[in-house]
Structure 1
Amino acid sequence: MLAGRGIGPLPIPRGAMETSSDIGWTRALAGLDDNEVRRIERCLGVREGPARTPIFHQGDPAGELFIVRSGRVRLIRRMESGEEFTSGVWSEGYLIGLISAFLGEPRFLAAESLEQTSLWVLRSTELHACMQAVPRFALNIAHLLALLASDSIRRAAPLALESVEAKLGRVLVKLAEADSSGTTHVVRGITQDELGSMVGASRPWVNRALAAFERRGLLRRDRQQILLLDIAACRRLWTD
């Protein structure tokens, strides 16, 4: 598990990269004054760890909420048959485990780091105390819970109708980050097995699909990276 350590008052990442439907920590703090932000800051701990480290397991008690400070986190649903499904890969600013922490129910997903990762940790008891002490924070958390439900429906609807090839393309666009030049977008640190678990396909199928995309000039595979050569064309093809 990721190792924890104490924390003093820290600046909140107001410019953090928001993910799907703006479900990020900056939204949780929207409209709060400096004193209210500091009140919540004092409740945060920090947990850090290397790549491929479990953050929590499916079925664990949900006693805390995690906010991604840096790195990327994969959320996983494991079936009794042994199969696993990756529900998403999230980065800076995203809230992990909010629903379970708010309800006090066992985790219905597992989470692991994909790379060196740092997380803020807010215990459920502190979450509820902050919501009682800061009404605007409580309203923001309620808004985030509604966004999570809406986002789940929004993401599931097209995936049910898309071909597996289109699902893979959509996932690649979502995971790609601009390189230092800004001209190429790169997918890093994701295995073909993990890509397969995101779209419901086998690793050999993913390998063949990536090869087909490569022949079409959409991407290039380079060691452990996938380079999207024309992100605008990929977005038009797979997300518009």
Structure 2
Amino acid sequence: MRMQTLPDAQVPARTLSPKWNIATEGLSAAQRQTILDRMEVVSFEPKEILFDQDEPSDTLLLVTEGRIRLFQTLENGEQFTFGICLPGTILGLAATVTGQSRILSAESLESATASIMTRTDFLHCLVEIPPFHWNITRLLAILSIESIERSGPMVLDRASVRLGTVLKSLARPEPGDTPQQCLSVVDLTQQELARMIGVSRSWVAIALSEFERLGLISKSRGKIVIRNTKRLDDFIAEQRNH
């Protein structure tokens, strides 16, 4: 993992994260500063690996900018995406607490930043700041529930539902769009999309053509546009109920 310390003027507002607010709820200004002083702000390029599965979990990461893909690589080399994480997500909390190796890998989908704390510093804060210890216990419970809600459908859904869900997770609003907002996915190859869903590239090509025939998307070179998000949502719901 390549780490680059950001100048102070570029440091994201870490305390604005809702989950970070849970972790620091009820702490004094001095206690909050003690924790922040032990965190380092780093940046990642698009498609950069933040950490790999099976490596030691010796750092805790708070995503502050950009989206992060969590995935697992199987023995045959296939990848399966467990979720797309937005700013405010804390990565590696459970593994950092237990000291176990990471079970997932994380990759930045775009330029991203994160605040990182070593396990040694994290454990020190838990001991020195008892309210922080309690907040982390509560946060672990919240993250556990969210993880089930986020990754459960991705694991159990049929491939067509996973494709629609991943496209929505990756899409951004079209600039200067109408009130019925269009979303677009750019600079994503069919092979990369196939890895995220756990299917072959040829299946993705056929499925995207079918999505286009159904009026769910339109596609051009290097770009996929979701013209009507409600129609895609209805399609996902219908496929799940089959």
Pairs within 5 Å for 1:160-239 = 162-181=157-176, 183-238=181-236
Shift of 1:205: 0.9
The share of aligned pairs that are identical, in percent, is: 32
- Separation in 2, partners of 1:59, 1:207: 32
Say yes or no: does 1:139 pair with 2:137: no
Count of residue pairs the alignment pairs up? 234
Three-state SS of the structure 2 residue aligned to 1:32 is: coil
Three-state SS of the structure 1 residue aligned to 2:34 is: helix
Q: Whose helix fraction is larger, Structure 1's or Structure 2's?
A: 2
Q: Is the 8 A contact 1:4 1:45 kept in 2?
A: no
Say yes or no: does 1:43 pair with 2:44: no
- Separation in 2, partners of 1:98, 1:39: 19
- Give the gaps of 5 or more residues in structure 1: 19-23
- Give the gaps of 5 or more residues in structure 2: none
Deviations 1:27-53, CA, capped at 9 Å, x for gaps: 323443433322211111122232222
Query: Please, what is the CA RMSD of the aligned residues?
Result: 2.7
Q: Residues 226 and 134 (structure 1 numbering): CA distance in 2 closer, same or farther, change over 3 Å?
A: farther
Three-state SS of the structure 1 residue aligned to 2:70 is: strand
1:28 aligned partner: 23
2:91 aligned partner: 96
Q: Residues 2 and 223 (structure 1 numbering): CA distance in 2 closer, same or farther, change over 3 Å?
A: farther
TM-score by length of 2: 0.82
| Aligned with residue 153 of structure 1, among 136, 148, 152 | 148
Three-state SS of the structure 2 residue aligned to 1:3 is: coil
Deviates more, 1:28-37 or 1:64-73: 28-37
Three-state SS of the structure 2 residue aligned to 1:93 is: coil
- Separation in 2, partners of 1:91, 1:29: 20
Q: Is the 8 A contact 2:71 2:196 kept in 1?
A: no
